[in-house]
């Protein structure tokens, strides 16, 4: 998955090791030795200390040689704290620039919510969150969501979405002063975030006229709205199965073999619970259409489509290959024949991992939406689709995100 590079770069070398005193198996003398960093004593003449310190460099040796009797301990000045990290009352962690907080006298105005995928956690986004803050210290405060981690991701998209919505409300209440909000979600987190923004959507205007098929969505006089009272800015998903995992090659590690895909359809709920039903569109609560189909448009109680349209930018990043869990079609919201041919793939020197950009058009959006209502396996009109070519190296999150944030 796309966040795998982040997890590998942020893994803590000491993870899983209990904190506190560790019993040493070395002899007592070696334990006291402590690699030579014991307190100076008069029993050690200056020359001996100088010879020993020479092993660590000429500068250290010279410093030790000049200190003959009195011992002077040099204490390095503490480094200025660049990133402030604090647990949120509703769960997860908030990250922002300590210097910006002092300069502004409060938190930055742009809140970014980062959502993990299946069996993930807030740790998946640690590196990316720090890069956000370092690149945009005066603009953003990043919240790494923790309400849907590990086995909680088996509870279903709706339950996870409700938890995320509640967590976002808690963060906004705690971090007074934020005015804008963006969502960055990976894999299953993209579906969870779509549900959550539908729940958090607050309309503040009325449509003046019906939408025109020949007019772009941004030009259409559509409903204005807020997400939990904040201005919606960016909604970004990475390798999210927007069309679910049902269908040929939608779950790539099954190699497109029909009998394996059929078996996965029948047993997904046994492995990942209600989430499996939602991903394979086998849920039918009260005889209603599958949840992912309902999330294509507004419902009576949750305005899924209006919430998405309220964001200034909507971006879906999709892996063109080497993603074994989420297929290219489902993450880029297209049919098989709509995928770009290899001859159309481009190379961008600034963003070498991006091989294709499709800004979509209103006519195609309405065609897709019409097909969705007729067939339950095609979902949502496209807005901006970006394909990634993955070659096993870490993806430059900070470079990909920074130009999208204001």
Q: Report if residue 140 sits inside a domain.
A: yes
Q: Report if residue 317 sits inside a domain.
A: yes
Secondary structure class of 91 (helix, strand, coil): coil
Categorize the per-residue pLDDT at 357 as very low, low, confident or very high, splitting at 50, 70 and 90.
confident
Categorize the per-residue pLDDT at 154 as very low, low, confident or very high, splitting at 50, 70 and 90.
very high
148: containing domain:
83-205+221-405
Most trustworthy range by pLDDT among 92-96, 160-164, 172-176 = 160-164
Per-residue pLDDT tens for 260-316?
A: 999 999 999 999 999 999 999 999 888 899 999 999 999 988 999 999 999 999 999
Give the chain's radius of gyration (CA, Å).
26
Section 308-332 average pLDDT: 93
Q: Is the pLDDT of residue 79 over 70?
A: no
Section 237-241 average pLDDT: 97
Q: Report if residue 94 sits inside a domain.
A: yes
Structural contact between residues 306 and 223, judged by C-beta atoms closer than 8 angstroms: yes
Q: Report if residue 13 sits inside a domain.
A: no
Helix (H) or strand (E) holding 188: helix 188-200
Q: Is the pLDDT of residue 222 over 70?
A: no
Secondary structure class of 35 (helix, strand, coil): helix
Give the Cα separation of 270 and 250 in Å (integer): 19
With helix as H, strand as E and coil as C, how does the chain read?
A: CCCHHHHHHHCCCCCCCCCCCCCCCCCHHHHHHHHHCCCCCCCCCHHHHHHHHHHHCHHHHHHHHHCCCCCCCCCCCCCCCCEEEEECCCCCEEEEEHHHHHHHCCCCCEEEEEECCCCCCHHHHHHHHHHHHHHCCCCEEEEECCCCCHHHHHCCHHHHHHHHHHHHHHHHHHCCCCCEEEEEEECHHHHHHHHHHHHHEEECCCCCCCCCCCCCCCCCCCCCEEECCEEEEEEEEECCCCCCCCCCCCCHHHCCCHHHHHHHHHHHHHHHHHHHHHHCCCCCHHHCCCHHHHCCCECCCCEHHHHHHCCCEEEEEEECCCCCCCCHHHHHCCCHHHCCCHHHCCCCCCCCCEEEEECCCHHHHHHHHHHHHHCCCCCCCCCCEEEECCCCCCCCHHHHHHCCCC
- CA nearest to 209, candidates 199, 198, 221: 221
Secondary structure class of 194 (helix, strand, coil): helix
Tell me what pLDDT residue 306 has: 95
Whether the full predicted model's pTM is greater than 0.85, yes or no, is no
- Antiparallel, parallel or unpaired: β 225-227 and 201-203: antiparallel
Categorize the per-residue pLDDT at 107 as very low, low, confident or very high, splitting at 50, 70 and 90.
confident
Q: Report if residue 26 sits inside a domain.
A: no
Q: Report if residue 310 sits inside a domain.
A: yes
Tell me what pLDDT residue 8 has: 37
> Domain tally for the chain?
1
Section 109-119 average pLDDT: 97
Tell me what pLDDT residue 335 has: 87
75/276: higher pLDDT: 276
Q: Is the pLDDT of residue 13 over 50?
A: no
Percent of the chain topping pLDDT 90: 47
Most trustworthy range by pLDDT among 195-199, 397-401, 402-406 = 195-199
Helix runs in 237-315, H state only: 258-279, 291-294, 304-309
What's the full length of the chain, in residues? 406
Tell me what pLDDT residue 388 has: 56
Give me the CATH number covering residue 274: 3.40.50
Q: Report if residue 303 sits inside a domain.
A: yes
Per-residue pLDDT tens for 18-38?
A: 444 444 444 444 444 344 444
Q: Is the pLDDT of residue 130 over 60?
A: yes
Tell me what pLDDT residue 47 has: 47
Q: Is the pLDDT of residue 152 over 60?
A: yes
Give the Cα separation of 101 and 232 in Å (integer): 22
Q: Report if residue 24 sits inside a domain.
A: no
Q: Is the pLDDT of residue 178 over 90?
A: yes
Tell me what pLDDT residue 243 has: 94
Q: Within its chain, how far is the Cα of 362 from the centroid?
A: 28
Q: If you average pLDDT over every residue of the chain, what do you get?
A: 75
Categorize the per-residue pLDDT at 336 as very low, low, confident or very high, splitting at 50, 70 and 90.
confident
Structural contact between residues 298 and 306, judged by C-beta atoms closer than 8 angstroms: yes
Q: Is the pLDDT of residue 113 over 70?
A: yes
Tell me what pLDDT residue 83 has: 84
């Amino acid at each position: 998955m796309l966040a795998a590079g982040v997890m590998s770069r942020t893994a803590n070398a000491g993870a899983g090791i209990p904190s506190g005193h560790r019993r040493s198996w070395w002899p007592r003398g070696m334990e006291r030795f402590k690699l030579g960093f014991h307190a100076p004593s008069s029993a050690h003449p200056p020359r001996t200390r100088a010879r020993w310190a020479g092993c660590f460099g000429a500068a250290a040796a010279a410093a030790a040689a000049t200190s003959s009797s009195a011992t002077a301990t040099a204490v390095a000045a503490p480094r200025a704290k660049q990133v402030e990290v604090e647990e949120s009352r509703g769960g997860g962690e908030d990250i922002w620039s300590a210097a910006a907080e002092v300069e502004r006298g409060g938190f930055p105005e742009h809140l970014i919510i980062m959502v993990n995928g299946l069996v993930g956690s807030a740790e998946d986004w640690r590196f990316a969150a720090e890069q956000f803050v370092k690149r945009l210290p005066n603009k953003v405060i990043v919240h790494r969501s923790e309400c849907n981690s590990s086995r909680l991701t088996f509870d279903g998209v709706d339950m996870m979405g409700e938890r995320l919505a509640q967590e976002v409300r808690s963060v906004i209440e705690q971090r007074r002063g934020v005015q804008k909000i963006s969502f960055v979600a990976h894999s299953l987190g993209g579906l969870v975030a779509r549900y959550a923004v539908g729940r958090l959507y607050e309309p503040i205007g009325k449509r003046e006229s019906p939408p025109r098929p020949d007019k772009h969505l941004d030009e259409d006089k559509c409903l204005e709205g807020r997400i939990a009272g904040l201005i919606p800015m960016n909604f970004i998903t990475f390798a999210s199965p927007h069309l679910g995992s049902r269908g040929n090659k939608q779950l790539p590690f099954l190699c497109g073999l029909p009998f394996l895909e059929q078996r996965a359809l029948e047993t997904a709920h046994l492995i990942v619970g209600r989430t499996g039903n939602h991903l394979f569109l086998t849920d039918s609560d009260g005889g209603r259409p599958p949840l992912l189909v309902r999330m294509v448009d507004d419902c009576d109680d949750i305005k899924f489509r209006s919430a998405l349209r309220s964001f200034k930018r909507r971006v879906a990043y999709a892996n063109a290959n080497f993603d074994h869990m989420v297929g290219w079609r489902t993450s880029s919201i297209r049919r098989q024949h709509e995928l770009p041919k290899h001859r159309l793939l481009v190379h961008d020197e600034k963003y070498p991992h991006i091989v294709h950009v499709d800004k979509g058009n209103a006519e195609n959006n309405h065609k897709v939406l019409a097909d969705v209502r007729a067939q339950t396996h095609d979902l949502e009109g496209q807005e901006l689709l970006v394909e990634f070519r993955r070659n096993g190296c870490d993806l430059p999150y900070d470079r990909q995100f920074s130009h999208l944030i204001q």
